[in-house]
């Protein structure tokens, strides 16, 4: 988390401070929510957050979100600058074939692999967010 919470934090510098993929860093908190940044590439895993929505903002690159909804399965494309909120309880699978940098907004303590998931691949960090720096 930002060690100086009442000072500006440049997101590019925050992202440059780590290399791990699918391993978000907490840059600040807003009430009971974490604001996290992450670098991603390849595929995550199908998972859902039963009790919370999940907000995505693409800072760099392009993100695809596979969604399993009542009407079937679909994929949404998020280019740089796009935002999308996955509704609570919706199974989703993020992927970034060419890599991306993201900003995520979710309640403190939310796991990166959700509440329902299959086997977690080795390249996905099971975490509730790491401190920045």
Statement: residue 51 has pLDDT above 80: yes
3-state helix, strand, coil in the chain (%, to 5): 5, 50, 45
The pTM score is 0.87
Q: In the Cβ-directed half-sphere of 54, how many Cα atoms lie within 13 Å?
A: 27
Domains annotated for the chain, with CATH where assigned, are 11-112 (2.60.120.10)
Per-residue pLDDT band for 133 (boundaries 50, 70, 90) equals confident
Mean pLDDT of 67-79: 96
Statement: residue 127 has pLDDT above 80: no
Q: Looking at residue 131, what is its pLDDT?
A: 76
Per-residue pLDDT band for 87 (boundaries 50, 70, 90) equals very high
């Amino acid at each position: 988390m930002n060690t100086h919470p009442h000072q500006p934090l440049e997101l590019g510098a925050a992202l440059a401070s780590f290399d791990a993929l699918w391993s978000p860093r907490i840059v600040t908190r807003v009430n009971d929510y974490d604001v996290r940044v992450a670098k991603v590439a390849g595929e995550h895993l199908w998972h859902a957050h039963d009790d919370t929505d999940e907000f995505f903002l693409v800072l760099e690159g392009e993100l695809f979100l596979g969604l399993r909804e009542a009407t079937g399965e679909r994929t949404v494309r998020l280019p740089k600058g796009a935002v999308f909120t996955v509704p609570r309880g919706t199974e989703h699978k993020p992927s970034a074939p060419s890599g991306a940098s993201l900003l995520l907004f979710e309640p403190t303590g939310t796991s990166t692999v959700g509440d329902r998931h299959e086997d977690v691949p080795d390249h996905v960090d099971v975490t509730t967010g790491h401190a920045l720096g």
